[in-house]
Amino acid sequence: MTLLNVEDLKVTYATDDETIHAVNDVSFSIEEGVNYGLAGESGSGKSTVAEALLGLLPRNGTVESGTLEFNGTDLTSLTDAERRDILWEDIAYIPQSAMDSLDPVMTTGAQIAQAIHTHRNVTDSKARDRVRELFDIVGLDPDRIDEYPHEFSGGMRQRVTIAMALALEPDLIIADEPTTGLDVIVQDKIIDKILEIQERMDSSLLLITHEIGVIAETCDALSILYGGKVMEQGSVDNVLVNPTNPYTMGLKNSFPEIDAEDEDPVAIPGSPPNLNREPTACVFERRCPFATDDCRESHPELIDLPNRNHRSACHRVKEAAQLRRDADEPET
């Protein structure tokens, strides 16, 4: 069954002098029990997709069009109260930089208890027991629930935010960059913890990160975003092992550890596109080593490839294998 369905999502931000087309016709769906990744460089629109889903866009953000369905429920037609209920009961959200947004003057345990009280009619001592249990689940010492955020390390604060998100055992966990800013060992531990919990609660995961290595380790399928567009999409095996899109290839070269070879990372030269108008060329054209005239004329459609569960938006998709070989050839 499809848990989450996003179709043709368009989101804009209004600024003083222009309209930012942050998410442009993004479609993807997550089947029950599947872990799904949303990848792409900074500014590609990842957080905007999550915030649109949850009705948490900043004031200047607008969902212009698109279908957003969770378990068959249209998320765009919910009242604020209904949305809040779904957000806690069914979908857990760990926002980007969540660990830095804990209330500094309230104990960590009290913050989680407050979240529980908002949704459940329970006594203080029941809520406290649940907080101790959640601390234990995320690998924190239950005897520390009366400590303040500043008494915890970054990795521990991130565990607190995970505990808070899990309080009501949701069907879907949306985690936006849950490991960014943590050191590598702590990152691994946090990811392991999220996976362990997600398996235990039998929930699905939407993992948002610019690190495709983390997605390769944890997800079944993914979408690669660039300039608000889905560039490539499908199973992790198809997209990350045999990418057909030059953007994915470039992203892979910036995280070479996926192939477990000792290659140096090569960043994609150039900078992301200006989003102040809808694209009239492929959004990646200016940075793409393979761009031709076609690529300057229109942004390519996302099309189904012959193998199952693989889609790519590239005018040169038919030549992808050759482009990959060209890219692998050493410079002379």
State the residues that interact with ligand ATP by CB under 6 A: 13, 15, 20, 22, 40, 42-48, 58, 60-61, 96, 210, 275
69, 5 Cβ separation under 8 angstroms: yes
Read off the amino acid at residue 1.
Answer: M
Q: In angstroms, rounded to a whole number, what is the distance separating the alpha carbons of residues 104 and 119?
A: 23
**Binding partner selected for residue 170 from Mg ion, ligand ATP, none, CB under the kind-specific 5 to 8 Å limit:** none
Query: Looking at beta carbons only, is 242 or 254 nearer to ligand ATP?
Result: 254
Q: In angstroms, rounded to a whole number, what is the distance separating the alpha carbons of residues 215 and 221?
A: 9
Q: In angstroms, rounded to a whole number, what is the distance separating the alpha carbons of residues 326 and 291?
A: 13
- Joined together, the tokens standing for residue 305 give 């490839």
27, 53 Cβ separation under 8 angstroms: no
311, 302 Cβ separation under 8 angstroms: yes
Number of residues forming the site for Mg ion (CB under 5 A): 3
Tell me which stretch binds Mg ion (CB under 5 A): 96-104, 182-190, 277-285, 294-302: 96-104
**Binding partner selected for residue 66 from ligand ATP, Mg ion, none, CB under the kind-specific 5 to 8 Å limit:** none
Question: Rounded to the nearest whole angstrom, what is the least distance from the CB of residue 28 to ligand ATP in the complex?
Answer: 15
Question: Rounded to the nearest whole angstrom, what is the least distance from the CB of residue 68 to ligand ATP in the complex?
Answer: 15
Q: What angle do CA 199, 200, 205 make, to 5 degrees?
A: 40
**Binding partner selected for residue 256 from ligand ATP, Mg ion, none, CB under the kind-specific 5 to 8 Å limit:** none
Distance from the first to the final alpha carbon of the chain: 51
Question: Rounded to the nearest whole angstrom, what is the least distance from the CB of residue 24 to ligand ATP in the complex?
Answer: 11
Binding residues among 18-47 for Mg ion as defined by CB under 5 A: 46-47
Query: Looking at beta carbons only, is 50 or 140 nearer to ligand ATP?
Result: 50
Question: Rounded to the nearest whole angstrom, what is the least distance from the CB of residue 33 to ligand ATP in the complex?
Answer: 26
Binding residues among 47-76 for Mg ion as defined by CB under 5 A: 47
Binding residues among 124-163 for Mg ion as defined by CB under 5 A: none
70, 3 Cβ separation under 8 angstroms: yes
Q: In angstroms, rounded to a whole number, what is the distance separating the alpha carbons of residues 111 and 97?
A: 16
6, 26 Cβ separation under 8 angstroms: yes
Residues 6+ apart with CB under 8 A from 139: 159, 189, 193
Question: Rounded to the nearest whole angstrom, what is the least distance from the CB of residue 117 to ligand ATP in the complex?
Answer: 31
Query: Looking at beta carbons only, is 96 or 158 nearer to Mg ion?
Result: 96
**Binding partner selected for residue 43 from Mg ion, ligand ATP, none, CB under the kind-specific 5 to 8 Å limit:** ligand ATP
What residue ranges bind Mg ion (CB under 5 A)?
46-47, 96
